[in-house]
Amino acid sequence: MSLSFPSSLCFILKLFCQSTRSLGSEHDQDSQPLHAPKNPTGNRPTTKDSEFAPYFAQIPEDIIYRSEFFPQTGPLAWLDRDDCEIEIERRLQAGELTREEADICRKFAQDGYVVIPGLIDPETADAAWLDYVTIWQESNPFNLPAQPDKFDPTWGRTGNVHKWVMGMHGLLHHPKIVNLIDLLLGKPCIPYQTIPSFYGSEQPAHSDAIHMTTFPLGFLAAAWIALEDIHPDSGPLVFYPGSHKLPYLLSEAAGIGIGDHKRLGRRVYIEKYEKMVQDLIRTKELKPSFFTANKGDVLIWHHNLLHGGSPVNNPEITRKSLVCHYFAEGVLCYHDLDNALADIANNGDYIGIVKEELATEENFDEQAYLLANRDVAEAVKNGIIPSGYSHFQSFGKSEGRKLRVDLKTQN
């Protein structure tokens, strides 16, 4: 079905926009834009989040970056919680949310996406695209052919184009988008990656979670920006409302072994993961929606929402767009498919610093450590060792002892 919006919701979303606070590599984020300020969002600091710190303390320093090796516990994003409707209403009544923000949060929680009509003004969209084309024609840092190839849907899908194109960088960091994603994730977001498209990608349905994974899961969102009016025959973005509530399908569940993607290439992803997603869509009878947007419309989707590119019926028609991905601050960011830590600055805080700080005498939770390590508690009780902290410093750290009980064992 084609995507349509009740006029009342469109009006609400436009009010929000007016009042808001002012594929190359899929995970390469190791350099700054060549001609952009290093931190254009106002020195938004990278901080360790006390909500996550106890869970990071359980992560071994030599972990394999696959979801099955992480603790299967951790806080949920606020709009993923069973009581999110109650919390939305509480914040609304407390004046922490406007009515428009509350409606946006409800839509995102229920369906896994929200559309903001006209969030980006057409002039900004045109300028960003012109900047991209100009830099491509003048210096071509993307190593693209001289002309777009309408028969190759992936042409122009250059990962992280914002590193070279100031206009695209401005869209990634656009305050209206950043503030909205802050709201939906419940944390300040970190703009991470961009992928532009000249034509419909025809990319099979997938969830971003297998490519850009977070611990805990659920702390990524993406914004798809229409840079022209999107024609139904151009291969519009297709997505499956409500699919974000399905269990996360990651490498282990898809039968992709550790290192398989690096060793065997994309074939293993296509044959195993993409096939399982199609089977899931069929067995769950998921219904597609198509984003036939106007220039400047933005669709924001949940970490686990299934989406892709629909078939291009007319290769003469372009589908100019930019998709931006955002991690939440305070989470660990990695790539489940490649078993690799995301190359993003804030990751340095998590496995090393957070664990080390929790283990300082000032921050060490003696009671939690003894509860998690009953043999140590018995030794302290019998006077064999003076304290749990002394045990952790002398033995527990090297033994990989937990600093607290895994929450799933407490039920």
Whether 18 and 61 share a structural domain: yes
Q: Give me the CATH number covering residue 72.
A: 2.60.120.620
How confident is the chain (411 residues) per 10-residue block, as mean pLDDT? 40 37 34 29 41 80 88 91 97 98 99 98 97 85 69 74 91 96 96 92 96 95 99 98 98 96 93 98 98 99 98 94 94 91 57 47 72 85 87 74 50 32
Structural domain includes residue 367: yes
CB 217 within 8 A of CB 336: no
What is the value of pTM for the model shown? 0.75
Q: How far apart are CA 273 and CA 285, in angstroms?
A: 18
Among the candidates 330, 349, 368, a domain finishes at 349
Q: Given CA atoms 112, 117, 118, 119 in this order, what sign does their dihedral have?
A: negative
pLDDT of residue 25: 34
Whether 142 and 40 share a structural domain: yes
Q: How far apart are CA 158 and CA 252, in angstroms?
A: 28
Whether 377 and 290 share a structural domain: no
Among the candidates 349, 374, 397, a domain finishes at 349
Whether 124 and 225 share a structural domain: yes
Whether 325 and 364 share a structural domain: no
Number of domains in the chain: 2
Q: Given CA atoms 134, 137, 139, 145 in this order, what sign does their dihedral have?
A: positive
Whether 244 and 376 share a structural domain: no
* Domain enclosing residue 401, as ranges: 359-409
Whether 403 and 319 share a structural domain: no
Structural domain includes residue 354: no
Whether 334 and 371 share a structural domain: no
